[in-house]
Amino acid sequence: MITVDSLSKTYGSFRAVDDVSFTARPGRVTGFLGPNGAGKSTSMRVMVGLTPPTSGHATVCGHRFADLPNPGRQVGVLLDASAQHAGRTGREILSIAQRTMGLPRGRVEEMLDRVSLTSSEADRRVRNYSLGMRQRLGIATALLADPEVLILDEPANGLDPAGIRWMRDLLRGYADEGATVLLSSHLLHEIEVIADDLVVIGNGRIVAQGTKTELLASAGTLVRTNDVPAMSAALTASGVPHTVSSAIGGSDALRVETDAELVGKIALDARIALLELRAAEGAGLEEMFLELTSDNQRETQTQGDAA
Amino acid sequence: MSTTITETAAPRRTERPTPAPIPFGRLVSVELQKCFDTRAGYWLMASIGITALLATGAVLLWAPDSEITFSTFASSIGFPMAVILPMIAVLSVTSEWSQRSGLTTFTLVPHRSRVIAAKAAVTLGISIVSMLLAMAIGTVGTIGGSAILGVDPVWDATTVDLLNIVLAQTLGMFVGFMLGAVIRHSAGAIVAYFVYSFVLTGLTEALAQTQDWFADLRPWVDFNYAQGALFNGSLDSTQWANLGVTSIVWLVIPMAVGLWTLMRSEVK
């Protein structure tokens, strides 16, 4: 369980993280989604106590991270796979973590095996590792103690498609066993495939959160017509919230927060010819994500039920 | 080591007993491992022994017969060590930032003061072990050298002298540690150390020779000068006071400031 409560972090006048609250629950994979610079990494650093927050707080397993007696045992963390001493071998880096946590020595070999680093690769210095190998080493460090919470920043970065598939299965397995998994990504398709819950962040603010199903449903209906003003007026008259959608490229589409049947009826009653009427979820998470993050600049929010 | 949690298949990840806190001794042993397990660290450590042997050889080869004494060996061995030990101290702190390994270190041990204390303990330990090594090599050199020359070995250093040298080397090492904590960047801290210990010494020396008022004041403001007394036999009470005052100004206060910012800084 990870609880983030009204978390803000400012650098001078820049608000990197702005009043972020969410919960990552056990048994579920929570995707922390946002474009680069949205505040994902800063939020994660605050969660593990590396960055002091300006206000608000975060707890992991019910405690402030710094109050956990042996945090590595309970929380597996991967923030930046390249942040390792380049002069150490992969095996030594794992051995340092294993000894710090007080785990049996055998765990190092088990983990190397688990992340498919060969013995000769493990004896190479990290300076000679590819990004994919560093990522595997970082995941091995995070999994070392078989923790109940995983906090992973862009873990898919640098992995090849097979590696991404492997990691997805691994994290799914962890969540299915009851672990809390929080992973950040700007790789939307990766998140869409693996996550149960989503927290979408843009410019430091949460722009949407909820279960994946809820968020897809809340994307509503997409309607295209040559007479947008008339359609908009008819929807307003019926009290149905809607916005002009640029999701399909043109300016002739509206995203309507209701189901297709009602939109069709409203159009019929107003005698408006439609070009297209469909569930917006077909447009996929990527469209929603881009729309939400660009919406953020205009200060409108689409808020799914909080998880 | 406490109970292992890893052997059972498909553990329930929730409702597990809270793990025991990490004992300080374990942190010390991990920090010791980190001093040796990089190529740079390994050779830095090895260079203590290597330069001690080279210095002993040099004394045997080139020192005049009358100088084949324990104190000659001790000071020749001590000189390279006075440079190497502070480097070890600097790097043990700064590598966490320069190499960014601090991201993992301070995630596994969020109480940074415990990690820094473990590093200080390792630094102190290395300093003392190195001194013992230096004295052992110096002893062998004195006995061997005098045997080769056919003269009686000369033991011209008292226990107090040796303890003073150990103190001086340890102070030097902690100056490195302090600069590491303040600057948190390997190259920057190493350069700062050389400025602190060598450039500054030259400047105060020049100042003292040209300005009488500074020559009188110098023992109270020049840390290197006050430390120099430690290499020249026992200190009188004024010299101890000089050393105490300059240590507080040049070592203790900056160390406190450095540690204070280190505890609160952001680890990226």
A120 and A230 part of one domain: no
Structural domain includes residue B8: no
The answer to whether A69 contacts chain B (CB < 8 Å) is yes
Q: What is the pLDDT of residue B27?
A: 97
Contacts of A50 in chain B (CB under 8 A): 103, 106-107, 266-268
Q: pLDDT > 90: what percent of chain A? A: 66
Structural domain includes residue A91: yes
Q: Which domain holds residue A224?
A: 219-297
Q: How far is A268 from chain B (nearest CA, A)?
A: 54
The answer to whether A77 contacts chain B (CB < 8 Å) is yes
A97 and A25 part of one domain: yes
A14 and A101 part of one domain: yes
The answer to whether A48 contacts chain B (CB < 8 Å) is yes
Q: For B109-158, where are the alpha helices, taking DSSP H only?
A: 112-149
Q: What is the pLDDT of residue B14?
A: 53
- Given A188, A209, A230, the domain boundary residue is A209
Q: What is the pLDDT of residue A246?
A: 66
Closest partner residue to B101 (CB to CB) among A65, A84, A178 is A84
A193 and A235 part of one domain: no
Residue B170 token pair: 């340890």
Q: Looking at residues B117-133, what average pLDDT do you find?
A: 92
Task: Kindly report the average pLDDT of chain A as a whole number.
Answer: 88
Q: Dump pLDDT digits (tens) for A95-105.
A: 999 999 999 99
Contact criterion met (CB below 8 Å) for A263 and A221:
yes
Find the closest chain B residue to A142 by CA distance. Answer: B104
Task: Please check the confidence at residue A160 and state whether its pLDDT lies above 60.
Answer: yes
A27 and A175 part of one domain: yes
Question: Which of these ranges, A14-18, A46-50, A176-180, A186-190, has the smallest mean pLDDT?
Answer: A186-190
Structural domain includes residue A214: no
The answer to whether B66 contacts chain A (CB < 8 Å) is no
Contacts of A177 in chain B (CB under 8 A): 10-13
Q: Which domain holds residue B56?
A: 24-264
Structural domain includes residue A94: yes
Is B19's CB within 8 Å of A85's CB? no
Find the closest chain B residue to A124 by CA distance. Answer: B38
A83 and A120 part of one domain: yes
Contacts of A87 in chain B (CB under 8 A): 38-41, 99
Residues 6 or more apart whose Cβ sits within 8 Å of residue A258: A220, A221, A240, A241
The answer to whether B160 contacts chain A (CB < 8 Å) is no
A85 and A203 part of one domain: yes
Structural domain includes residue A286: yes
Q: Dump pLDDT digits (tens) for B193-245.
A: 999 888 988 898 898 888 888 888 888 989 988 888 888 777 889 999 999 99
Q: What is the DSSP-derived secondary structure letter of residue B154?
A: B
Is B104's CB within 8 Å of A50's CB? no
Structural domain includes residue B61: yes
User: What is the four-CA torsion angle of B113, B114, B116, B122, rounded to 10 degrees?
Assistant: 160
Would you place residue A242 in the very low, low, confident or very high pLDDT band (cuts 50, 70, 90)? confident
Structural domain includes residue B182: yes
> How many domains would you assign to chain A?
2
Q: Which of B5, B7, B8, B13 to mutate to test the interface with A (most CBs of A within 10 A)?
A: B13
- d(CA B181, CA B79) in angstroms, rounded, equals 24
Q: What is the pLDDT of residue A202?
A: 85
Residue showing tokens 């000089």: B242
User: Which amino acid type is present at position A39?
Assistant: G
Structural domain includes residue A304: no
Q: Looking at residues B147-161, what average pLDDT do you find?
A: 84
- Given A185, A209, A233, the domain boundary residue is A209
Is A80's CB within 8 Å of B11's CB? no
Q: How far is A242 from chain B (nearest CA, A)?
A: 42
How large is the greatest C-alpha to C-alpha distance in chain B, in angstroms?
A: 78
Is A85's CB within 8 Å of B18's CB? no
Structural domain includes residue B39: yes
- d(CA A75, CA A122) in angstroms, rounded, equals 23
Q: pLDDT > 70: what percent of chain B? A: 94
Q: What is the pLDDT of residue A295?
A: 54
Q: Dump pLDDT digits (tens) for B54-85.
A: 998 898 888 888 888 888 888 888 888 888 99
Q: How far is A74 from chain B (nearest CA, A)?
A: 8
Would you place residue A215 in the very low, low, confident or very high pLDDT band (cuts 50, 70, 90)? confident
Q: Which of B38, B91, B103, B267 to mutate to test the interface with A (most CBs of A within 10 A)?
A: B103
Structural domain includes residue A302: no
Task: Please check the confidence at residue A303 and state whether its pLDDT lies above 60.
Answer: no
Q: Strand A197-202 relative to strand A205-211: parallel, antiparallel, unpaired?
A: antiparallel
Q: Dump pLDDT digits (tens) for A87-140.
A: 999 999 999 999 999 999 999 999 999 999 999 999 999 999 999 999 999 999
Structural domain includes residue A192: yes
- d(CA B42, CA B33) in angstroms, rounded, equals 10
Residue showing tokens 């991270």: A65
A100 and A169 part of one domain: yes
Is A146's CB within 8 Å of B95's CB? no
CATH number at residue A7: 3.40.50.300
Contact criterion met (CB below 8 Å) for A278 and A222:
yes
Cross-strand partners of A78: A152
Q: How far is B89 from chain A (nearest CA, A)?
A: 17
Per the model's pLDDT, the better-predicted residue between B215 and B192 turns out to be B192
Q: Dump pLDDT digits (tens) for B103-119.
A: 999 999 999 999 999 99
Would you place residue B181 in the very low, low, confident or very high pLDDT band (cuts 50, 70, 90)? very high
Q: How far is B127 from chain A (nearest CA, A)?
A: 23
Q: How far is B262 from chain A (nearest CA, A)?
A: 11
Structural domain includes residue B243: yes
A177 and A291 part of one domain: no
Contact criterion met (CB below 8 Å) for A78 and A152:
yes
Task: Please check the confidence at residue B183 and state whether its pLDDT lies above 70.
Answer: yes
> How many domains would you assign to chain B?
1
Q: Is A239 exposed, middle or buried (0-12, 13-18, 19+ CB in 10 A)?
A: exposed
Structural domain includes residue B130: yes
CATH number at residue A270: 3.30.70
Contacts of A95 in chain B (CB under 8 A): 33
Structural domain includes residue B153: yes
Would you place residue A281 in the very low, low, confident or very high pLDDT band (cuts 50, 70, 90)? low
Per the model's pLDDT, the better-predicted residue between B150 and A290 turns out to be B150
Cα-flanking dihedrals φ and ψ of residue B218, to 5°?
A: -50, -50
A193 and A95 part of one domain: yes
Task: Kindly report the average pLDDT of chain B as a whole number.
Answer: 88
A191 and A246 part of one domain: no
Q: What is the pLDDT of residue A293?
A: 56
Structural domain includes residue B7: no
Q: How many CB pairs under 8 A join A and B?
A: 130
Find the closest chain B residue to A67 by CA distance. Answer: B110
Cα-flanking dihedrals φ and ψ of residue A134, to 5°?
A: -60, -40
Is A45's CB within 8 Å of B2's CB? no
Q: Looking at residues B25-30, what average pLDDT do you find?
A: 96
- Given A182, A209, A236, the domain boundary residue is A209
Contacts of A72 in chain B (CB under 8 A): 107-108
A81 and A137 part of one domain: yes
Contacts of A181 in chain B (CB under 8 A): none
